[in-house]
Amino acid sequence: MTNPLRLARLLRLSSPTLPIGAFGYSQGLEWAVESRSVRDETGTHHWISNLLHGPFARFELPTLSRLLVAWIECDVATVANLNEEYLAARETMELRAETVHMGQALLKALRAAGDVSPSRLVSLEKLGTISYPTAFACALADWGVFIEDGLTAYAWAWLENQVMAAIKLVPLGQSAGQRLLATLSVELPGVIATARDLAVEDINSFAPMLAIASSQHETQYTRLFRS
């Protein structure tokens, strides 16, 4: 069974109140709405589900899993390599800026909270440019969070942020938002299983529509979100 303190820390790490600025990013969803690719609850479900089963299951979560293992084993060289690979795989200026901003903000939040060992935070800071999953995995390792629990918390935080962005952008009502969270959360076990079973050589961030949406958002005339 999950230790109550470990669970509480994990919930804090995935909470929208965590001061890392996640609420400021839509990851291309704002342009998808602007272009009418997403225009209602059904379209929102299709957009988010495709991302979940695509780049999230096949790149984001497998990379987080590998980072967590490296942090557990105190293999800082592998952490550094995976961090660089993740940054290099961000296909647009906005997506790269987002993960760097959130990574640095999470480091600051963890340091302020004081419940991650100073030695780990020093190792994290020495990486220089820190991606968000690298910082997230650092905290998970220090707290002894099980890999599957950590992946679930990370995926839930992303999913909740996407739905909250859709509520503002489409726009959708709160009831529609809750329906989306309910139906999409059912897909999470399969997404996490895919991520855990994926061979290293099959990990890839191929998501051309996401890259197009993000690059188009960079020059969008009016914007609520930073990506």
What distance in Å separates the CA atoms of residue 178 and residue 32, rounded to the nearest whole number?
21
**90 lies in some domain:** yes
Domain count, the chain: 1
What average pLDDT does the segment 78-107 reach? 97
- Give the global pTM: 0.96
Which amino acid belongs to residue 90?
R
The CA radius of gyration of the chain, in Å to the nearest whole number, is 17
pLDDT of 179 = 98
Q: Quickly count helices (H) and strands (E) in the chain.
A: 12, 0
**21 lies in some domain:** no
Question: What CATH number is given to the structural domain containing 46?
Answer: 1.10.4190.10
**123 lies in some domain:** no
Give residue for tokens 């400021």: 24
Give residue for tokens 């272009």: 35
pLDDT of 2 = 67
pLDDT digits (tens, 9 = 90+) for 54-73: 999 999 999 999 999 999 99
**11 lies in some domain:** no
Residue span of the structural domain in which 64 resides? 26-98+141-217
